[in-house]
Amino acid sequence: MDGGISVWVPVISVLAGSVLTGTIQYFMNRQNHFFALKREEKAAADRLRNEKQAEENKLQRERIFIAAELVFLLEQYAEGCARVAADHGDDNPQSEREPTVNYPLLNLTDVSGDWRVLSRLLMYRIRELPVLQNEAQRTIAGVGEYDHPPYYSYYFRERQYQFSRLGMKAVILAMRLRKAVGLPESRLQDTEWSAYNVLWKVWRQERKRRAADYANK
């Protein structure tokens, strides 16, 4: 009997060793697979993060590009509006009073940047300006049609008021663009005769006059 057991001892030992080795190898393979999977997940997350960062950097560059284009267009337009807002016409007593400054033109068709990188509201407000100018010009023409020569006082006040509003809208939009992309602050407020201050003064005076006229009705 003892001899029979002794015969199986080496076999059992070999089998036990094989089972133990196989078990250890199995768990090692599982662990290696687990760590390999983790490395792949981390690499994929890093790639995704890098791709998102690259896309954001690209969008930011595009925002800066179109913002720079639009800021200069808007501020040039605001300067033109300020000249209209400050125009009291030619006071030659021998003729009818006429404007000395033409209406400014805001041409957005030549903007080469991608409008889609701007916020929807900002894009809408900028592209709305030419439409608002058309409406303002119709209002001014309507007032002028029924105003009295030779001075056309109501016509000129309406002209100054409408373009002070348009100019202030343009300045505020330019300021928002500058802030959105980190451009330097505007210089349109530096002096008393800077565009924004001229526009604000005309707009405020006309608003006060209109409020007084409404109160006296």
Kindly report, residue by residue over 168-192, the tens digit of the pLDDT.
Answer: 999 999 999 999 999 988 877 777 7
SS3 content of the chain, % helix, strand, coil (to 5): 75, 0, 25
pLDDT at res. 20: 58
- Any idea what the Cα angle at residue 126 is, between residues 124 and 131, rounded to 5°? 85
pLDDT at res. 13: 58
Res. 23: pLDDT tops 80: no
> Within 10 Å of residue 201's Cβ, how many Cβ atoms?
15
d(CA 81, CA 163): 5
Kindly report the average pLDDT of the chain as a whole number: 84
The model's pLDDT over 75-130, given as tens digits with 9 standing for 90+, comes to: 999 999 999 999 998 877 677 889 999 999 999 998 999 999 999 999 999 999 99
d(CA 157, CA 153): 6
Mean pLDDT is lowest, of 1-10, 45-54, 81-90, 202-211, for 1-10
pTM (global) more than 0.85: no
d(CA 14, CA 210): 106
DSSP letter for 201, please: H
* Closest residue by Cα to residue 210 from 154, 166, 139, 163: 154
Res. 4: pLDDT tops 60: no
Confidence of residue 44 (pLDDT cuts 50, 70, 90): low
